[in-house]
A and B are shown apart, each in its own frame.
Chain A
Amino acid sequence: MRICVVGCGAVGSLFAANLARLEDVEVWAFDLNSEHVDAINRDGLRLSGAGDVVGHPRATADAAELPPCDFGIVATKAMHTEPAIAATAHAFKDGCVATVQNGLGNEETLARHVERVIRGTTFPAGKIVAPGHVQWDVKGDTTLGPYDERTPLAEVERLADACTRAGMPAHAVADARGPQWRKVIFNASTNPIGALTGLTHGRVCERSDLRALVSGLVDEGKAVAAAQGIVLDADPEELIDHAAKPEVAYGHKASMLQDVEARRTTEIDYLNGGIVRFGREHGVPTPLNEAIWALVKGVEAAWTQS
């Protein structure tokens, strides 16, 4: 089996390094960062932290080098999905392409370029500490499911099995929208609040008026999910309260707050923006998500001003 990880940042590296240890899997890693690519080809791809692994995928920044693959795993930031799949689609003519990215709309983008798409949601996290070296912060499960009837469930199961054998537990399910929407609603209802106020997750939740705003965002997201017949696999409200505990993520700065502090473009278009777009398609009003979307876009616009 041949798998290509498209976008070998922190999450992509977790998949690439672990999968590369399997005897029966040949792994390619496609990434535009040539320092990272060179380090991987020279020394291997090293994970440390939650697991210590060195894998030896074939890395390249040149999509033309990619051979035909059975599977793609797309792990870029959501705003890079389009160019990433446009460059690599040729390698997946007879394969399936899974997204393990954040947000909504990635499957639709992939489906414009490739025939068989797998919807995925993943919880492991880490960060790149040096070229070829990723710190593995959190282990977690991945859920995979066919995007539409063109993707055989048997193929999804084959990829999930490989991931699980590689130490990245994955489940194949017929409808993977529940975990995806649960994660999107969680992120869309908390990340931008942290980004706009500068508060950590725990401090957002301990202000009762702000926590009520979070619930307003969650309710809109749930209504949009329900209108599509999506059954969430867990209640985002419980996950939000759980994460606010001191021993869990009280002091955690949401990734979007980190993006804002570093003046990096955020994933707001694919979180709140995604909820708004799907809400419009299904006739569900989402005024709070629209407001938060516009405010964070305003934050991004302010950086380009004098």
Chain B
Amino acid sequence: MAGAGAIGSLYAGHLAQVAEVTVLTRREEHAAALRGGLRVSGRAELTATVRATTDADELGDAELAILACKGTDLEPLAARLAGKLSGATVMTVQNGLGAEEIVARHGEWPLLSAVTFMSGTRHGDAHVEYVLDTATWIGPNRGTTEADAQRVAELIESSGLKAQAFPDLRPAQWSKLIFNATVNGVAALTGLPHDFHFAQFAQLSDLGHLVHDLVDEGRAVATAARIELHDDPWEMNVLATQRGHRHFPSMLEDVEAHRPTEVETINGALVREARRHAVGVPLHTAVYRLVKAKEASYSE
């Protein structure tokens, strides 16, 4: 497990129940805390025994490597792994597009694509709360087949998390891309968690109109890219707002904490795909530029 934020910790804690898990961290005190046991609370209650290290050379002969860092940290992480993990299949779970290509540039590993809908909250270096028990979707990429994706999905399922394999992940990946570009962007700009406002239409100025129009632009890009979406992003939005749980998208948390956001790999990726396929996306372009500018307001 490379990266032990909320998502990485959820995978590590669960998978340690059925496999031998080593966690690669950036900070030594983080690794030391994990060696004392990784606690998962919330939807699952368990304490996992994991190995943890800051030295990529100590990862040994892992069969599966899950890169669960934030999109903005993927390039340096993949560079750290270059020349290592020679027997492993590498799986990316980042939001947006392009994670597989970044990793592919740093090694010859067989690759799996994945997106995850589960969410958690870190309560310290060795404690994560399991909040949303939604699935991880996995599909083949370079040098892998659906059977490989299926094997990893089964492993994850056996550990108590939800997972599903797909013959081609792109339809699901694009559904999530459009959903994230829309919901995360609007949340980051307004300060609203993903709640009922995102599906509200009563007034002309209600956000439901904008969210719906953003989803429509995203669908048009997918159509031009010959992607048949697995889930309708608008329905994903409505369902999420009806869950009764006010989810704080990572991009909102990032701007509130004045951290770099995943705007490039999510909104930027969608806008670039639109340009490549000559589809006009004025609203996504506006959201992309505004989030970039908001980042600049605190990062320069």
Do the beta carbons of A197 and B210 come within 8 Å of each other?
no
A46–B195 alpha-carbon span in the complex (Å): 48
Interface assignment of A301: CB less than 8 Å from any CB of chain B: yes
B285 partner residues in chain A, CB cutoff 8 A: 213
What is the minimal beta-carbon distance from B264 to any residue of chain A, in angstroms?
13
* Residue-wise interface mask of B (282-294) relative to A, using a CB-CB cutoff of 8 A (1 in contact, 0 not): 1101110110111
What is the minimal beta-carbon distance from A304 to any residue of chain B, in angstroms?
10
What is the minimal beta-carbon distance from A280 to any residue of chain B, in angstroms?
8
Do the beta carbons of B189 and A298 come within 8 Å of each other?
yes
Which A residues from 86 to 125 make CB contacts under 8 A with B? none
Q: Interface size (B, Cβ < 8 Å)?
A: 30
Q: Give the A-B pair count, Cβ closer than 8 A.
A: 96
Knowing A295-B190, A297-B205, A298-B190, the reply to whether A287 touches B296 (Cβ < 8 A) is: no
Interface assignment of B62: CB less than 8 Å from any CB of chain A: no
Interface assignment of B207: CB less than 8 Å from any CB of chain A: yes
A294 partner residues in chain B, CB cutoff 8 A: 205-207, 209-210
Do the beta carbons of B283 and A291 come within 8 Å of each other?
yes
Which A residues from 7 to 60 make CB contacts under 8 A with B? none
Interface of A is mostly: helix
Q: Interface size (A, Cβ < 8 Å)?
A: 33
Centre residue among A193, A197, A292, A303 by max chain B CB count within 10 A: A197
Residue from A203, A204, A288, A293 within 8 A of B286 (CB atoms): A288
* Residue-wise interface mask of B (23-39) relative to A, using a CB-CB cutoff of 8 A (1 in contact, 0 not): 00000000000000000
Interface assignment of B191: CB less than 8 Å from any CB of chain A: yes
B192 partner residues in chain A, CB cutoff 8 A: 298, 301-302, 305
21 A–B contacts, CB within 8 A, in A order: A193-B293, A196-B294, A197-B290, A197-B293, A197-B294, A204-B293, A209-B292, A210-B293, A269-B205, A277-B204, A288-B282, A291-B283, A294-B205, A295-B190, A295-B210, A298-B190, A298-B197, A299-B190, A301-B190, A301-B192, A305-B195
